[in-house]
């Protein structure tokens, strides 16, 4: 990535396009790629938080709607979870997942919310947590990352992940119970989220998804703490 491109990013705070996430040529030193990821992440966040134009913030929130998740994946997807590029990748990827599967995510949120009262309050999804409300809340949280307290936004995203993960765990148990009641012989060893000694393929898939979301929640919570202590790199 040339010095001129980097300079343009820093001097054009109201212009965000896929060019700022330009793919690096093959064979580049991983350290150079990592440095570029951190530089672009800090440029985006600092410029986004410095502007007072709601239109700019809206374009930042909607970025992947227009350019796709791949526009940021090349630069940020491999970054450590507790790092600024890693955090930005996770929250944009979460938003993309919710907006692509709003009804399914709403179902998981419904299933998990009664067993995650604290996380439910922190996430701040209004009742009832229907598909439209989930999409609206996710956009509000991401907007807050640019206009409010960044660590609070990360904690709200983390809480959202925990509620959905619990819902996926409940769905996994139900899939296993349904299969057991039907005498399904395809059941296999259960994961830690299931309560029965066997698990269907559907249950295993949901359990893996729940574990992944819990990991994401833990990373976001750690990143929020690091941000408060000025240690998020």
- pLDDT, tens digit, 9 for 90 and up, residues 120-178: 999 999 888 899 999 999 999 999 999 999 999 999 999 999 999 999 999 998 887 76
| Residue matched to tokens 């296993």 | 176
Q: Which two tokens mark 224? A: 């929020």
How many CB atoms are closer than 10 A to CB 114? 12
Distance of CA 138 to the CA centre of its chain: 10
Instruction: Answer with the residue of higher pLDDT: 228 or 197.
Output: 228
In this prediction, what percent of the chain has a pLDDT beyond 70? 78
Helix/strand/coil for 199: strand
Kindly give, in sequence order, each residue whose CB lies less than 8 Å from that of residue 161, ignoring residues fewer than 6 positions away. 94, 213, 214, 216, 217, 220
For residues 148 and 213, what is the distance between their CA atoms, to the nearest angstrom? 24
Whether the CB-CB separation of 180 and 187 falls below 8 Å is answered with: yes
For residues 175 and 168, what is the distance between their CA atoms, to the nearest angstrom? 10
Task: Indicate if the alpha-carbon torsion angle 81, 82, 85, 88 is positive or negative.
Answer: positive
pLDDT at 91 over 70: yes
Instruction: Please state which of the ranges 4-8, 14-18, 149-153, 214-218 shows the lowest mean pLDDT.
Output: 4-8
Degrees, nearest 5: CA angle 197-163-195: 10
Degrees, nearest 5: CA angle 157-160-162: 115
Whether the CB-CB separation of 89 and 101 falls below 8 Å is answered with: no
Whether the CB-CB separation of 72 and 21 falls below 8 Å is answered with: yes
Instruction: Answer with the residue of higher pLDDT: 104 or 201.
Output: 104
pTM: 0.80
Q: DSSP letter at 1?
A: -
- Which helix (H) or strand (E) is 182 found in, with range? none
pLDDT of the residue at 5: 37
Helix/strand/coil for 216: helix
Confidence class of residue 33 from pLDDT cuts 50, 70 and 90?
A: confident
Range list of H helices, 131-200: 131-147, 150-181
Q: Which two tokens mark 18? A: 């896929």
Give me the mean pLDDT over the 101-110 stretch: 96
For residues 163 and 161, what is the distance between their CA atoms, to the nearest angstrom? 6
């Amino acid at each position: 990535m040339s010095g001129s491109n980097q300079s343009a990013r820093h001097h054009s705070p109201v212009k965000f396009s896929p060019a700022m996430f330009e793919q690096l040529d093959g064979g580049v030193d991983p350290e150079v790629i990592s440095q570029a990821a951190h530089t672009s992440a800090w440029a985006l966040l600092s410029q986004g938080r410095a502007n007072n134009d709601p239109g700019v913030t809206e374009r930042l929130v909607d970025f992947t709607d227009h350019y796709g998740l791949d526009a940021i994946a090349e630069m940020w997807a491999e970054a450590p979870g507790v790092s600024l590029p890693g955090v930005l990748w996770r929250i944009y990827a979460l938003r993309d997942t919710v907006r692509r599967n709003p009804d399914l995510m709403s179902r998981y949120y419904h299933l998990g919310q009664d067993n995650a009262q604290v996380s439910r309050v922190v996430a701040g999804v209004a009742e009832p947590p229907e598909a439209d409300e989930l999409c609206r809340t996710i956009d509000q949280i991401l907007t807050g990352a640019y206009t409010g307290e960044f660590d609070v936004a990360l904690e709200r995203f983390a809480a959202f992940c925990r509620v959905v993960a619990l819902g996926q765990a409940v769905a996994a148990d139900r899939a296993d119970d349904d299969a057991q009641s039907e005498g399904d012989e395809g059941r296999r060893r259960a994961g830690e989220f299931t309560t029965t000694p066997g698990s269907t393929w559907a249950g295993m898939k949901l359990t893996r998804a729940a574990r992944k979301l819990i990991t994401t929640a833990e990373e976001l919570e750690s990143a929020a703490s690091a941000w408060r202590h000025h240690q998020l790199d």
